[in-house]
């Protein structure tokens, strides 16, 4: 028997492999892997610095994470109907997807918007659309996340204007605006303005939220989209935290005290099917951010040191082949996020690799979270993986590799300078190519794609967006421009241009563009008109050649 046990162990050792980040994963972990490990320094207590074990002392034993569902398609009325369905089924937070023209700051009747209106999210051209989008939804009671970046300020102000119409003051609004334009230059491409004015706009949102929307998360620094572009877990947290450092520096340079805005910073990560590495990634990211905020920026408020984050399951890992298999993938990914200590979670629908999710698929995605929260024991204890030889060792490995990558970014002059040289983009593309090679060769198994395939796929009827939506949005814009006070809009846009051109005197910050922007939107200026006014002053970003 002893001989058989030794042979079995040798067999396990022969199958050692690399993680998604290319780090060694040992077949067996033990005390020797934590020989120099200091639990007091590395681990701490839940809810205490360095927050390895979670940002709250009780975590899910007090209450579960916020269950969000990312949704938005077609017209504001159609998306409103989906939001009402999700709330009725138990969603505790909304997450808004905007169409590409809205994300790029164009109206639905702009030539560049043709064929894209309402396709990958909801079309929002003005306060009229935002009013319909949240009709009958009490904004003082629901938490709303908006995935919007370059024109984030506009959509946030439109949301506030609708809340004011409902009689809800700014200090009651809760939610998050993504507002992370740096990752757009790296991985996603929905940028409008060059980096310098974009960072100014980000800092203006920080200042505005501090004064007007104190419970609102003013940014969600996103690694998710980098991961969708092919970033490894190490690249995801290294480049995301480097972007976070750049935003903090921009706000401090604009005259803000770090403890005035840092408690409302948040982050957005992916959860892959590699459960152990994902759990370790989240723990490493919390610890790294806590130390950065305390040691580099001198943050004194514990909330400034906490890395609070939203997680979305990995859309890039969904397959159009045998789509029901995605239900299993999403469950494993959601479990990784929960065991990693996420504050809120979106679970992808199983049919998203084919088309927009059907109502049934969206409901099943939500039910996945509800089963985890109410039928398993993962909410019964705080940080169930603490002290695991494997998890603690992998956490240390990920932290070390991510810090090394962040040092490379810093050596290039910081995140913006590295972006301008194409560093992050090139590194992510190299990793994406490595993954594609492994999939093509069969070294990386993707169930239903390169292994365990069917001779013939079962038919599936996806949700399709009505092509007439674009015409209806155009008609709505024509009506809006005929009804509104054109002179008031022109005056308001002129004031916005002046604020965008303005320079601070002495140590005074530049004028905050959000105040005249809100006046213009209240006068029913459109998203395209407001972004157009800023383009006239700040210009539009054109990426250079990668080196």
- Is residue 534 domain-resident? no
Could you tell me the CA-to-CA distances from 176 to 143, 201, 220, 260, 518 in Å, in that order?
8, 16, 7, 17, 18
In the numeric block, which tokens belong to residue 462? Answer: 């996806």
What CATH number does the domain containing 344 carry? Answer: 3.20.20.240
Q: Has residue 503 got a pLDDT over 80?
A: no
The answer to whether 154 and 527 have CB atoms below 8 angstroms apart is yes
Domain that holds residue 387: 39-441
User: pLDDT-based confidence at 447, cuts 50/70/90?
Assistant: very high
* Average pLDDT, integer, range 231-253: 97
pTM of the model: 0.93
| DSSP secondary structure of 453-509 | --SSPPP---B---TTHHHHHHHHHHHHHHHS-HHHHHHHHHHHHHHHH----TTPP
Other beta carbons within 10 angstroms of residue 495's beta carbon come to 17
Q: Quick one: pLDDT band at residue 1, thresholds 50, 70, 90? A: very low
Neighbours of 298 (CB within 10 A): 12
- Beta-ladder partners of 222: 268
**What count of other Cβ atoms lies within 10 Å of the Cβ of residue 211?**
12
Between 347-361, 386-400, 427-441, 455-469, the lowest mean confidence (pLDDT) is in 455-469
76-123 confidence digits (pLDDT tens) = 999 999 999 999 999 988 999 999 999 999 999 999 999 999 999 999
Cα–Cα dist 405/235, whole Å? 7
Mean pLDDT of 496-504: 90
Confidence of residue 5 (pLDDT cuts 50, 70, 90): very low
Tens of pLDDT along 366-376? 999 999 999 99
Radius of gyration (C-alpha) of the chain in whole angstroms: 24
pLDDT at 507: 64
373 within some domain: yes
Q: Judge if the upstream peptide bond of residue 50 is cis by omega within 30 degrees of 0.
A: yes
Backbone dihedral region for residue 23 (phi beyond 0: left; psi -120 to 50: alpha; all else: beta): beta
Phi, then psi, of 267 in degrees rounded to 5: -130, 165
Asked if the structure places residue 419 within a domain, the reply is yes
For 121, the 3-state DSSP assignment is: coil
Dihedral angle, C-alpha 191, 194, 196, 202, nearest 10 °: -20
Residues 112-171 pLDDT 10s: 999 999 999 999 999 999 999 999 999 999 999 999 999 999 999 999 999 999 999 999
**CA atoms of 379 and 480, how far apart (whole Å):** 49
As for how many domains the chain has, the answer is: 1
Of 118, 72, 117, 76, which Cα lies nearest the Cα of 95?
A: 72
Domain membership of residue 79 (yes or no) is yes
| Cα–Cα distance for residue pair 93/105, rounded to 1 Å | 25
The answer to whether 194 and 359 have CB atoms below 8 angstroms apart is no
Is 244's pLDDT higher than 50? yes
Nearest to 220 by CA among 201, 246, 244: 244
> What mean pLDDT is reported for the chain?
93
pLDDT for res 504: 63
Q: Is residue 447 part of a domain?
A: no
Average pLDDT rounded to a whole number, residues 402-426: 97
Ranges of beta strands (E only) in 210-321 are 216-217, 219-222, 265-271, 309-313
Residue 236 belongs to a domain: yes
Question: pLDDT tier at 462 (50, 70, 90 boundaries)?
Answer: confident
Mind listing the pLDDT tens digit for each residue in 199-215? Answer: 999 999 999 999 999 99
Residue 253 lies in a domain: yes
Distance CA 540, CA 547 (A): 21
3-state class (DSSP) for residue 49: coil
Could you tell me the two tokens for 207?
């200042």
Quote the percentage of the chain above a pLDDT of 90: 88
Res. 531: pLDDT tops 50: yes
Residue 531: inside a domain, yes or no? Answer: no
Q: What is the pLDDT of residues 288-338, one digit of tens each?
A: 999 999 999 999 999 999 999 999 999 999 999 999 999 999 999 999 999
Burial class (CB in 10 A: 0-12, 13-18, 19+), 381: exposed
Does position 12 have pLDDT exceeding 50, yes or no?
no
pLDDT confidence of 482, banded at 50, 70, 90? very high
Q: Are 144 and 96 in contact (CB under 8 A)?
A: yes
Q: CA-to-CA distance for 220 and 310, rounded, in angstroms? A: 8
Contacts of 436 (CB under 8 A, 6+ apart): none
**75 closest CA partner among 115, 156, 132, 139:** 132
């Amino acid at each position: 028997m002893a001989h058989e046990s030794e042979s079995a162990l040798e067999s396990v050792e022969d199958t050692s492999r690399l993680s998604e980040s290319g780090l060694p994963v040992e077949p067996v972990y033990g005390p020797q892997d934590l020989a120099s490990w200091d639990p007091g320094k590395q681990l701490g207590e839940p809810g205490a610095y360095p927050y390895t074990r979670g940002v709250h002392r009780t975590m899910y034993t007090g209450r579960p994470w916020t269950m969000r569902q990312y949704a938005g398609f077609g017209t504001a009325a159609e998306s409103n109907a989906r939001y009402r369905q999700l709330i009725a089924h138990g969603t505790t937070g909304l997450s808004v997807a905007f169409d590409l023209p809205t994300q790029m700051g164009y109206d639905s009747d702009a030539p560049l918007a043709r064929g894209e209106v309402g396709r990958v999210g909801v079309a929002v051209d003005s306060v009229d659309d935002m009013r319909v989008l949240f009709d009958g939804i009490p904004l003082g009671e629901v938490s709303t996340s908006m995935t919007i970046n370059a024109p984030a300020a506009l959509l946030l102000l439109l949301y506030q204007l609708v809340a004011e119409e409902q009689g809800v003051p700014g200090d009651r609004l809760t939610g998050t605006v993504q507002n992370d334009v740096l990752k757009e230059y790296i991985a996603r491409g929905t940028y409008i303005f060059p980096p310098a004015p974009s960072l100014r706009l980000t800092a203006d949102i920080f200042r505005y939220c501090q004064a007007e929307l104190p419970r609102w998360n003013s940014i969600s620094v996103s690694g998710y989209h980098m991961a969708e572009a092919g970033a490894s877990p190490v690249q995801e947290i290294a480049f995301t935290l480097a972007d976070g450092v750049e935003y903090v520096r921009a706000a401090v340079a604009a005259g803000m005290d770090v403890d005035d805005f840092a408690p409302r910073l948040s982050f957005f990560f992916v959860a892959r099917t590699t459960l152990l590495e994902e759990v370790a990634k989240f723990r490493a990211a919390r610890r790294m951010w806590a130390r950065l905020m305390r040691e580099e920026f001198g943050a004194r408020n514990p909330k400034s040191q906490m890395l609070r984050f939203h997680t979305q399951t990995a859309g890039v890992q969904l397959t159009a082949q045998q789509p029901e298999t995605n239900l299993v993938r999403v469950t494993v990914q959601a479990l990784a996020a929960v065991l990693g200590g996420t504050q809120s979670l979106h679970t992808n629908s199983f049919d998203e690799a084919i088309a927009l999710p059907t109502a049934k698929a969206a409901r099943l995605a939500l039910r996945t979270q509800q089963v985890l929260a109410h039928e398993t024991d993962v909410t019964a204890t705080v940080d169930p993986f603490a002290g695991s030889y494997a998890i603690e060792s992998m956490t240390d490995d990920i932290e070390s590799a991510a810090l090394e990558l962040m040092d490379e970014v810093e050596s290039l002059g910081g995140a913006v300078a590295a972006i301008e040289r194409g560093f992050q983009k090139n590194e992510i593309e190299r990793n994406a190519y490595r993954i594609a090679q492994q999939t093509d060769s069969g070294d990386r198994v993707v169930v239903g794609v390169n292994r365990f395939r069917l001779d013939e796929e079962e038919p599936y009827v996806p949700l399709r967006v009505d092509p007439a939506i674009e015409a209806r949005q155009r008609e709505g814009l024509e009506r809006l421009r005929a009804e509104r006070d054109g002179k008031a809009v022109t005056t308001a846009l002129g004031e916005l241009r002046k604020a965008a051109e303005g320079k601070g005197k002495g140590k005074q910050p530049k004028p905050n563009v959000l105040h005249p922007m809100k006046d213009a939107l209240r006068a029913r200026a459109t998203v395209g008109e407001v972004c157009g006014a800023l383009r006239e002053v700040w210009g539009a970003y054109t990426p250079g050649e990668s080196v």
